[in-house]
């Protein structure tokens, strides 16, 4: 009887490996993004969430602030440039059009289909926080 139980366990293990893979369950890792406080003024918002950001991340953060974090709200490029200019001391680099291009390449923003010279947030815009370890 003991031999039969051992054989059954071995068969079950083989079956589980065939069905579930190597017997381990892959855990999908998620990065928690900070709970963003859109009630802050633009300078406080940029200062709080932008440590270590590059140009395309700043561009995305500003677009996110101006849209209130909503991906269906078009944000005018002139408005983004205005916030950039008022926060230039914190940002440290002048605005360049390559920042919007790179943000689009990363899927963080996209050109608005409704309004010319405006942007909407991409589905994964909060990925800008991942490499900076900003977890809530």
SS3 70: coil
Q: What is the pLDDT of residues 6-26, one digit of tens each?
A: 888 888 787 777 766 654 444
0.95 exceeded by pTM: no
Q: What is the pLDDT of residues 94-132, one digit of tens each?
A: 999 999 999 999 999 999 888 889 999 999 999 999 877
Domain boundaries, the chain: 42-132
Q: Right CATH number for 42-132 from 1.10.357, 1.10.260, 2.60.60, 1.10.10?
A: 1.10.10
Q: What is the pLDDT of residues 42-78, one digit of tens each?
A: 999 999 999 899 999 999 999 999 999 999 999 999 9
CA quadruple 43, 49, 54, 58: dihedral sign: negative
User: How far is 100 from 109, CA to CA, in rounded Å?
Assistant: 8
């Amino acid at each position: 009887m003991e031999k039969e139980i051992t054989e059954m366990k071995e068969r079950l293990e083989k079956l589980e490996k065939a069905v579930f893979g190597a017997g381990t369950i892959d855990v999908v890792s998620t990065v928690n993004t900070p709970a963003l406080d859109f009630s802050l003024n633009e300078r406080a918002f940029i200062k709080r969430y932008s440590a270590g950001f590059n140009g395309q991340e700043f561009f995305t953060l500003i677009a996110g602030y101006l849209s209130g974090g909503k991906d269906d709200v078009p944000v005018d490029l002139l408005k983004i440039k205005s916030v950039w200019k008022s926060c230039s001391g914190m940002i440290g680099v002048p605005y360049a059009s390559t920042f919007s291009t790179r943000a689009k390449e990363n899927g963080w923003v996209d050109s608005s289909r409704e309004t010319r010279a405006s942007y909407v947030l991409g589905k994964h815009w909060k990925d800008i926080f991942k490499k900076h370890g900003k977890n809530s």
